[in-house]
Structure 1
Amino acid sequence: MKNTTILVLQGPDGTTADLAPVVAAAHAAQGRLCVMHLGPVPLLTFTMTAAPYAVPVIPESWIEKRNEMAKRLSVKQSETRDHLVKEGLTGEVSTLCVEPAAMHDQVAIRALFADLSVVQNSLRSDSNAFDNVVYGLLFEAPGPVILNAEARKNALAPETVMIAWNSSIHAARAVRAALPFLKSAKEVLIASFDADPSRYGDGDNPGADLATWLSHHGCTVTVEEYVTGRKSTAQAIEARAQEHNVDLVVMGAYGRSHWSERFFGGTTNAMVKQQGMPVLLAH
């Protein structure tokens, strides 16, 4: 998609080499690349001085850790700015050094005017930070999110795309968000798992209407139905994606409560945690 703005979320151990796929995508789209270096810091706990004034006292150890992280991010910011200049790309480079629980709304604000957000695996070193960033991008920002772009060299310029289709509004939003990728791909596979044709009124063959719509956009489409058997839906999605050697999986995210999936498990939660397959998510 021409003139795309891509937002990249990178952890404190991320490198300029990690940016290679998104740099290539930005060049191909004549787009802008905005990089945000995230540094999670420990939860702040403080004590109170004695009455009557009771002034809060912030531990020096916390201040030291916060300042150390801020310095690390500042170095990363300078390196990335130099790298983008060298690559001839426009954009901006910023840092965010806060507790993980405060990250979701901050990254969501940055993503408001991005066409696509890419969360890099260097952020997975802090699972709380990673989860909060993904939550903020999915629930508080308008664009799609791509995870594990590092896992396939063509993840951001996919030749083969698999849509995990269940006829839901979330899946439909993901397909619309992924339309530029689908139109440029050589092959699009619409995969339904344990399909229930009567549930959403999607006709006798779930995915057929979607295939007609995508074909009208010029996509080369195949529709397949799969039975998960003893596998979970997430495991079945990964297995079929590996079998067809797809570059990107497209799926709706959190069709049921985010907290329900987080505590009891679910397809979205499992696909967010896996690192072997690039996946585009939209809620």
Structure 2
Amino acid sequence: MAFKSILCVTGADNSDQDVRTAAGLCAEVGAHLSVLIIPPPMLLMSYPSIGDGAPEWPGGRGQAIARLNDRFRQIDRYTQDVARLEKRSKDIQKLLRAKSLAYDVDTDYCDPASLGEVARQRALCADLTVIGPGLLNDENLGPPVVNGCLFDTGRPVLVVPKGAEPTLWPRRVLVGWDSRVEASRAVREALGVLCAAEEVRVALVDPKANYNGNCAEPGADIAAYLTRHGARVSVDLLPSAGKSAATVLAQHAIDTSADMIVMGAYGNRRLRERLFGGVTRWIFEKPTLPLFLAR
């Protein structure tokens, strides 16, 4: 298995479930776990306008006091957040010491605008980033972390929705294939997972309408590629019947008892729809399947 370093990003106020999930995956494949703890969004200071000239008394004095009060509130919030981060770090280290695996735990106090960049820097030095249900359902932290880890790194992300039972040794895997470079990268990044699976089903939705592969038979090219690597592959050609590809794939995953879906991620707006609303929210609610994404 190619995953030797796995990143887990969690919020200071999130539960331990995301870390436990990532630790379980690391134990499965003998990987090192890196945990990054980030704080909740900071309070923004307000700066009342005092006009172009010198402030009038007593209005200027009141505005200056308001700014000082804002500063004191920010300092107090910062002090509280740092204390929470330190406590969270100690709690996670205590949790991981009982897991008998290699790990490191770090914190980063950053402003909301820097969350994506902070996550990106950490994900660049990991083979896989695990996004657990706690972070996934955090509307403030989830989107920038996923965007930073996936879109700006070229590294894969494993999304684990609530109720899922993730494993890096799945028995059955469904691959959403459309001959795009993103789907190809997802397959390559998941190659170790696919080759170890008992069954890999490559699913193409309405392939006659959009297939651009290098074989006459849709899906034969990627199936041959995976077979040469030792995967046990079959190809399923699925009609959309007016439904979205995501909905068709999700239903097919249920029908084939898949343990994981592997697919490419195409764009910032579309990924946000997949992870934080829209049609593919159904994938996370019914069924609760891990989603292996790459771009």
Please tell me the TM-score bracket, short chain as reference: 0.7 to 0.9
User: Please, which moves more after superposition, 65-74 or 219-228?
Assistant: 65-74
8 Å Cα contact 2:37-2:106 kept in structure 1: yes
With structure 1 as the length reference, what TM-score do the two structures score?
0.86
TM superposition shift of 1:272: 6.7
TM superposition shift of 1:40: 2.4
Match of 2:97 among 67, 75, 85: 85
Look up the match of 2:58.
none
With structure 2 as the length reference, what TM-score do the two structures score?
0.83
1:262/1:158 CA distance change after superposition, 3 Å = closer
TM superposition shift of 1:113: 1.2
Look up the match of 1:180.
192
Look up the match of 1:36.
36
After superposition, residues 79-228 of structure 1 pair within 5 angstroms as 79-148=91-160, 151-196=163-208, 199-228=211-240
Alignment partners' CA distance in 2, 1:246 and 1:151: 15
Residues 1:258 and 2:265 are matched in the alignment? no
TM superposition shift of 1:269: 6.9
Task: Report the residue type matching 1:180 in the other structure.
Answer: G
Question: Secondary structure of 1:117's match?
Answer: strand
Look up the match of 2:253.
241
- Is the radius of gyration larger for structure 1 or structure 2? 2
TM superposition shift of 1:138: 1.2
CA RMSD, Structure 1 to Structure 2 (Å): 2.9
8 Å Cα contact 1:11-1:120 kept in structure 2: no
TM superposition shift of 1:27: 2.1
Task: Report the residue type matching 1:206 in the other structure.
Answer: P
User: Please, which moves more after superposition, 78-87 or 48-57?
Assistant: 48-57
8 Å Cα contact 1:12-1:122 kept in structure 2: no
8 Å Cα contact 1:233-1:267 kept in structure 2: no
Task: Report the residue type matching 2:235 in the other structure.
Answer: V
1:121-143 Cα deviation digits (max 9, x unpaired): 11234313211111101122232
TM superposition shift of 1:219: 0.7
Question: Secondary structure of 1:87's match?
Answer: coil
User: Please, which moves more after superposition, 165-174 or 38-47?
Assistant: 38-47
1:125/1:154 CA distance change after superposition, 3 Å = closer
TM superposition shift of 1:258: 2.1
Alignment partners' CA distance in 1, 2:78 and 2:101: 31
8 Å Cα contact 2:21-2:132 kept in structure 1: no
Question: Secondary structure of 1:224's match?
Answer: strand
Alignment partners' CA distance in 2, 1:272 and 1:128: 20
1:21/1:149 CA distance change after superposition, 3 Å = farther
Alignment partners' CA distance in 2, 1:46 and 1:127: 23
Alignment partners' CA distance in 2, 1:268 and 1:33: 26
8 Å Cα contact 2:246-2:280 kept in structure 1: no
Task: Report the residue type matching 2:95 in the other structure.
Answer: H
User: Please, which moves more after superposition, 10-19 or 238-247?
Assistant: 10-19
Alignment partners' CA distance in 2, 1:106 and 1:234: 30
1:262/1:225 CA distance change after superposition, 3 Å = closer
Task: Report the residue type matching 1:29 in the other structure.
Answer: V
8 Å Cα contact 2:33-2:104 kept in structure 1: yes
1:270/1:281 CA distance change after superposition, 3 Å = farther
TM superposition shift of 1:2: 5.7
Bigger proportion of residues as strand: 1
Task: Report the residue type matching 2:159 in the other structure.
Answer: L
Residues 1:11 and 2:47 are matched in the alignment? no
Mark the runs of 5 or more structure 1 residues left unpaired by the alignment. Answer: none
1:116/1:52 CA distance change after superposition, 3 Å = farther
1:59/1:234 CA distance change after superposition, 3 Å = farther
TM superposition shift of 1:3: 6.4
TM superposition shift of 1:149: 5.8
Question: Secondary structure of 2:141's match?
Answer: helix
8 Å Cα contact 1:18-1:150 kept in structure 2: no
Task: Report the residue type matching 1:233 in the other structure.
Answer: A
Alignment partners' CA distance in 1, 2:246 and 2:3: 33
Question: Secondary structure of 2:182's match?
Answer: helix
